[in-house]
Each structure stands twice: as C-alpha cells, then as structure tokens.
C-alpha cells in the first residue's frame, strides 16, 4: 500500500463520520448560503512581477512530522496576506497533517484572499463541504482519481463557482489533467510512494502543460533560489508550506518569495 492509499483510507473513515453528523443535503444548503467564492484562477494569474505564492497553514506532514504548532492559524494567514500571498492554503486532513475544518473557518474569517481547502478529495461531499466552509479552491489529486471521477469532480467544483488545483506527478497524469480541462495544474515533485523529492521532474512536466493554464510548483521550496529555479522552469505559482511555517518571520518570507524571479519575467 502506498502512502497515498494509506492516507485515503483514513480520509474515508473520517468522512463517513462527518456524513453521519451532517448529511449531504444539509451541507448543500450551507454551501448555497455561503458568500460567493473568490476567483482563485485570476488571483494566481494576476501577479505582474515575480511569482504568485500559495502560502500554507500546515502543522505537520508524513515526510517531516511536526512542523509548527500554529496556535493561531488566523494570525498566520493574516501575516501571509500582508506579505503578498495570492492564495492561502489550509490543510484540513487531521490524521497525517494535523489540520481541520475549524482551521479553514478561522482563516476564512481572517483574510480576504482566495482560500484553498487542501485535502484528499475522494467524494463529492468534500466539494460541497469546502464551499460550505468558504473555500474558493480545492485540491484534486490525479493519482487518487480515475478519469470519470476527476472530470465529474472538476465539473461540480466549477458549477459551485470554485476552481481546482489539479495535482500531477507524472507525464501521464499531466495529460489526464489537460484532457479534463484543468486550468490550474500543480506539478508535485514529491514521490507519493517514497516521499522523496526530485526537483528535476518539474521542468519536464511543466513543459507539457498548455500556456493557458497556471502552472503551480509543489514541494521542494526551501528558499528563494528554489523559487527562482521553478520560475525559470515555467512555474507561474509556488505552493509553500514548511519553509513558511517554520520561519520566524513568515510575512517577510512570503514577500521575498513573491518578488523572487521577477527579473526572469522580463
């Protein structure tokens, strides 16, 4: 069993428990009552200089363990916003990442930016749930979904006014993402089986993505040099978690990252 398979088992168990507490019909009503979603695609594509940063509220990860206690996710998100982040990503998976929907609610109340509900989407319930909690963007991992499910999930996401970050790891997954019409495509350089990072795969996969899509570099951002490297290789945005939550000044770090690579765009 891969790490992804193991995570999804837990996600499904927790999802079943939430469905009992709040049936889909009720979640749909809450989603329809939620404020209109913000345009995450426009936010990521609009950065005239440098690179768009998706700044992550992330307590821990399967590869690194504990990253940061994050006592106040709302304040961290506000710091990201002040630093110039384009989107705030909030982990809501609890078992491996220490996240929750309560974190999402706290961040939504604190910032005006689009918010990515970062979780392992395996059921349409989670898409309605994300909208009900004010998310504007969700994660769809190609490796976790067959083509029909990927297409239907993307269609529902867009019907609800949200966008999807469609995550890929291989050339075949990029082709599948493009085939369903994904407009925000992430290239995750972390191997889902070993959790190792191989940054050399990024330029290869990014080169397969059509120019109309926003290319997001995921994983492996340690400092400005990594951001500049990704920008030079075709990234329009970078998703950063560990390098921000473990830094003493996340606001300044986001600002530095957004400016990184500006000269490469001229």
CA 237 to CA 47: how far, in whole Å? Answer: 9
**CB–CB of 118/92 below 8 Å?**
yes
Give the pLDDT confidence of 194-224 residue by residue, as tens digits: 889 999 999 999 999 999 999 999 999 999 9
Q: Which of 219, 228, 229, 251 is catalytic?
A: 219
Q: Which of 81, 93, 173, 218 is catalytic?
A: 218
Average pLDDT over residues 55-66: 87
- Within a 10 A sphere around the Cβ of 23, how many other Cβ atoms? 11
Under DSSP, is residue 56 helix (H, G, I), strand (E, B) or coil? strand
Give catalytic status of residue 60 as yes or no.
no
Give the pLDDT confidence of 9-23 residue by residue, as tens digits: 999 999 999 999 999
Q: Which of 52, 56, 86, 89 is catalytic?
A: 56
Average pLDDT over residues 124-138: 98
pTM: 0.96
Give catalytic status of residue 56 as yes or no.
yes
pLDDT of residue 158: 98
Give the pLDDT confidence of 228-263 residue by residue, as tens digits: 999 999 999 999 988 898 878 999 999 999 988 666
Give catalytic status of residue 173 as yes or no.
no
Mind listing the domains of the chain with CATH numbers? 3-259 (3.20.20.70)
Give catalytic status of residue 200 as yes or no.
no
pLDDT of residue 48: 63
Give catalytic status of residue 118 as yes or no.
yes
Scored b (16 or more CB within 10 A) or e, 152-173 reads ebbebbeebebbbbbbbbeeeb
At residue 265 the predicted structure's pLDDT band, cuts being 50, 70 and 90, is low
pLDDT of residue 203: 97
Q: Which of 129, 167, 173, 251 is catalytic?
A: 167
Give catalytic status of residue 251 as yes or no.
no
Q: Which tokens go with 52?
A: 């768009």
Give catalytic status of residue 75 as yes or no.
no
- Within a 10 A sphere around the Cβ of 249, how many other Cβ atoms? 12
Q: Which of 68, 188, 229, 242 is catalytic?
A: 188
């Amino acid at each position: 069993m891969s790490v992804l398979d193991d995570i999804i088992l837990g996600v499904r168990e927790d999802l079943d428990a939430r469905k009992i507490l709040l049936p889909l019909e009720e979640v749909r009503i809450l989603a329809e009552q939620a404020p209109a979603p913000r345009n995450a695609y426009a936010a990521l594509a609009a950065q005239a200089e440098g690179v768009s940063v998706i700044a992550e509220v992330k307590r821990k990860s399967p590869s690194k363990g504990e990253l940061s206690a994050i006592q106040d996710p709302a304040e961290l998100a506000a710091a990201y916003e002040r630093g110039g982040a384009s989107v705030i990503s909030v982990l809501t998976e609890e078992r491996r990442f220490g996240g929750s929907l309560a974190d999402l609610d706290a961040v939504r109340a604190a910032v005006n930016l689009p918010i990515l509900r970062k979780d392992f989407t395996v059921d349409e319930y989670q898409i309605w749930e994300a909208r009900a909690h004010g998310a504007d963007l969700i994660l769809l991992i190609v490796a976790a979904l067959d083509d029909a499910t990927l297409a239907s999930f993307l269609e529902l996401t867009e019907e609800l006014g949200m966008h999807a970050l469609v995550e890929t790891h291989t050339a075949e997954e990029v082709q599948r993402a493009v085939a369903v019409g994904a407009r925000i495509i992430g290239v995750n350089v972390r191997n889902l089986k070993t959790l190792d990072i191989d940054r050399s795969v990024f330029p290869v996969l990014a080169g397969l993505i059509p120019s109309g899509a926003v290319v997001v570099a995921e994983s492996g951002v340690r400092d400005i040099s990594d951001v500049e490297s990704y920008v030079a290789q075709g990234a329009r945005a970078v998703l950063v978690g560990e390098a921000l939550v473990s830094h003493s000044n996340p606001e300044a770090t986001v600002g530095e990252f957004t400016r990184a690579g500006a000269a490469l765009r001229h």
